[in-house]
Amino acid sequence: MKKKSYTLFLFFIAFCSICVSLPGKTSGQQVVGVSSLEFYENHRHLLEDGGATIIDGRTAEMFESGHLKNAINIDADDPNLIDLLQEHADEPLIVIYCTTIRRTGDILQALEEFYEGKIIYINDGLRGWKQNGLPFLNAADYMAE
């Protein structure tokens, strides 16, 4: 039982360190975390109108199984993550999501080194998106429309 508590404690510390780093080091960067439901209610137009770069931080296999409409796949565990993200450094708005939050946190940490725009991250990821029964996904097994 002590090992389980210790593991939970380490997870909590790691999560808190991600949260503390979210404001970013760059002067112009804005970071906003929203739930999938909040994103859908307030920002769903971004999935349609191209007003943002939407980054799915999961693996290519996970991305192929279903993703948000118009999302691009940049695996947060890719050793060239910063180089891949820098291709979008001039975008005014980036939306980030993954399954839950771990990969999103890794991408946020990478972006804080150079990105000056606004970031919206979906803090409950695709798991929350599916639990809320929200549409705008690109795969038959995810479709809710």
Per-residue pLDDT of the chain (145 residues; tens, 9 = 90+): 555 555 444 444 445 445 544 444 445 789 999 999 999 999 989 988 888 999 999 999 999 988 998 999 999 999 999 999 999 999 999 999 999 999 999 999 999 999 999 999 999 999 999 999 998 667 544 543 3
Distance of CA 27 to the CA centre of its chain: 21
Q: Within 13 Å, how many C-alpha atoms sit on residue 25's CB side? A: 7
For the record, the structure tokens of 45 come out as 């137009």
What's the pLDDT at 139? Answer: 56
Q: Hey, is 145 helix, strand or coil?
A: coil
CATH 3.40.250.10 fits 22-131, yes or no: yes
What's the pLDDT at 136? Answer: 65
Q: Hey, is 53 helix, strand or coil?
A: strand
Domain locations in the chain as residue ranges: 22-131
Nearest alpha carbon to residue 86 among 63, 59, 107, 62: 107
What's the pLDDT at 50? Answer: 81
Residue whose tokens read 């993550």: 81
What's the pLDDT at 48? Answer: 83
Nearest alpha carbon to residue 68 among 17, 139, 119, 137: 137
